[in-house]
A and B are shown apart, each in its own frame.
Chain A
């Protein structure tokens, strides 16, 4: 754990140093390539005024609600599709058609339907997140080792018990993989949606609004915040879930550090 932390810090320091020398080299105007000091200063101002907290909460709130809704609908749907041929036959074409459409392409339509504001942003997150959840869960259910099913059936498991006690835990590595993808796509949707839908709060809004005064330092600061939030989530949420479940069971080798 410590070694990877040092590695990360060294990497970050290196990137910062390279950027700083590039920014100060005078190749571009300071407004276009702000130095690390400028970025830090504007971030500090936003934190101090409480504005950053507000925006982070707005974005995080939308993505959490959207992800939760996508999980509640997407995971059971994926499981049903894996379990029942008719359900699979019905939903698979629908999913295959909608999944490749970028979530951001739906923004204008969602604005017309849901108006400007949270509803549209959340709907966007749900749309972006639901497909990886459905597809990965569906795959997970279909990849359950037949041996486990045979063993359970030999011990008298009916199809309902089989599903709850065997298929669900067996499919978990895939569900978690789907959740990671859903999270990433959800971020794209929410930040992009905030930018295009001209919401008044959120990290996407901050980036978009900063163009008014060519505040590249604010823009880059916000990108950094988004990146750090993603990193935090990966470390604190995903890797913890993995470690406590599929990692502990030896079904997946846990990421180190």
Chain B
């Protein structure tokens, strides 16, 4: 039994007088501490899928189990990082943003501050605890968002194209940081992206979705050791493989 089990996920909704099938019968599992990337072009339903796992949406059919228990609604067992930097609360400093989940858990103030600072250190922002989000660059804001999603120790980390809005150089840096953080925290990760190279760089396994309706086209394991060389022959081979399924 996998850590996360998606079985028969179907999502339909009505717009006007049409019924749109965003996802049809998507099933796959994610192992403990595995890093899975869901890849597909825009409109394939990957964000919808993530929202369902996060508990923001109810699937029309099918169910999701995390550690054997069916997911219904949101929960502190999952952390989520969105693409938009504005996900941080502007009225709170970086540290207080990271503390938010801990406040929800009822952690006392001293422990909260210490834990928050530990996670800010982990993402490389130790010196910026007292900064407000608007004083930070986009990359730094996303680091805070990652720290915030991890601080209350969810077993699952969900990420919706978190680096898509960053410039290429920052993105590379952030990907490296993410791998480091993942290795340190051993979270189970579902990472949504349309960037194939990013997926091959990050993932243990890639799940390819094709749109209209969103269906699972392929699952590709990436057994390459980390850190991965994006210019190596194997890397490019895997990229080609994924791209072939996207056509």
A154 with B79: in contact, given A169-B91, A249-B91 (CB under 8 Å)? Answer: yes
Q: Which of B1-9, B37-45, B70-78 contacts A (4 or more CB under 8 A)?
A: B70-78
Residues from chain A with Cβ under 8 Å of B80 in the complex: 151, 154
Does A152 contact B100, Cβ atoms closer than 8 Å? Answer: yes
- A156 contacts partner chain B, Cβ-Cβ < 8 Å: yes
Does B54 contact A154, Cβ atoms closer than 8 Å? Answer: yes
Distance (whole angstroms) from the CB of B90 to the closest CB of chain A:
5
Q: Which residue of B lies closest to A161 (CB)?
A: B104
Chain A to chain B contacts (Cβ below 8 Å), 26 pairs:
A147-B84, A147-B87, A150-B56, A150-B87, A151-B80, A151-B89, A151-B148, A152-B89, A154-B55, A154-B74, A154-B79, A154-B80, A155-B101, A155-B152, A156-B101, A156-B152, A157-B104, A165-B100, A169-B89, A170-B91, A246-B91, A249-B90, A249-B91, A249-B132, A251-B90, A251-B91
Across the interface, A250 reaches (CB within 8 A) one of B75, B82, B134, namely: B134
- B135 contacts partner chain A, Cβ-Cβ < 8 Å: yes
Does A155 contact B82, Cβ atoms closer than 8 Å? Answer: no
Distance (whole angstroms) from the CB of B174 to the closest CB of chain A:
19
A156 with B87: in contact, given A147-B82, A150-B56, A249-B134 (CB under 8 Å)? Answer: no
Residues from chain A with Cβ under 8 Å of B133 in the complex: 250
Residues from chain B with Cβ under 8 Å of A24 in the complex: none
Q: Which residue of B lies closest to A151 (CB)?
A: B87
Residues from chain B with Cβ under 8 Å of A246 in the complex: 91
> Which parts of B106-161 form the interface with A (CB within 8 Å)?
132-135, 148, 152
Does A156 contact B89, Cβ atoms closer than 8 Å? Answer: no
Q: Which residue of B lies closest to A148 (CB)?
A: B89
Distance (whole angstroms) from the CB of A166 to the closest CB of chain B:
7
Residues from chain B with Cβ under 8 Å of A169 in the complex: 89, 91
Residue among A152, A165, A249 with max Cβ neighbours from chain B (10 Å): A249
C-alpha gap A81/B18 in the complex (Å): 33
- B105 contacts partner chain A, Cβ-Cβ < 8 Å: yes
Across the interface, A153 reaches (CB within 8 A) one of B74, B84, B86, B103, namely: B74
Residue among B56, B87, B89 with max Cβ neighbours from chain A (10 Å): B89
Q: Which residues of A contact B (CB under 8 A)?
A: 145, 147-148, 150-157, 161, 165-166, 169-170, 172, 245-246, 248-251
Consensus secondary structure, chain B interface: mixed
Distance (whole angstroms) from the CB of B180 to the closest CB of chain A:
23
Distance (whole angstroms) from the CB of B109 to the closest CB of chain A:
15
Residue count of chain B within 8 Å CB distance of chain A: 27
Q: Which residues of B contact A (CB under 8 A)?
A: 54-56, 74-76, 78-80, 82, 84, 86-87, 89-91, 100-101, 103-105, 132-135, 148, 152
Residues from chain B with Cβ under 8 Å of A156 in the complex: 74-76, 101, 104-105, 152
Residues from chain B with Cβ under 8 Å of A150 in the complex: 56, 82, 87
C-alpha gap A154/B75 in the complex (Å): 6
Q: Which residue of A lies closest to B145 (CB)?
A: A151
C-alpha gap A152/B100 in the complex (Å): 8
Residues from chain B with Cβ under 8 Å of A249 in the complex: 90-91, 132, 134
C-alpha gap A150/B51 in the complex (Å): 10
C-alpha gap A156/B105 in the complex (Å): 8
Residues from chain A with Cβ under 8 Å of B100 in the complex: 152, 155, 165
Distance (whole angstroms) from the CB of A209 to the closest CB of chain B:
48
Does A166 contact B54, Cβ atoms closer than 8 Å? Answer: no
C-alpha gap A47/B44 in the complex (Å): 75
A147 with B86: in contact, given A154-B74, A156-B101 (CB under 8 Å)? Answer: yes
Q: Which residue of B lies closest to A250 (CB)?
A: B134
C-alpha gap A147/B54 in the complex (Å): 14
Residue among A151, A152, A154 with max Cβ neighbours from chain B (10 Å): A154
Residues from chain A with Cβ under 8 Å of B135 in the complex: 250
Contacts A154-B56, A250-B135, A251-B134 known; 7 new A-B pairs at CB < 8 A: A148-B89, A150-B56, A154-B78, A157-B104, A165-B103, A248-B132, A249-B134
Residues from chain A with Cβ under 8 Å of B148 in the complex: 151, 155
Distance (whole angstroms) from the CB of A52 to the closest CB of chain B:
41
Distance (whole angstroms) from the CB of B132 to the closest CB of chain A:
6
Residues from chain A with Cβ under 8 Å of B74 in the complex: 153-154, 156
Does B104 contact A155, Cβ atoms closer than 8 Å? Answer: yes
C-alpha gap A172/B92 in the complex (Å): 13
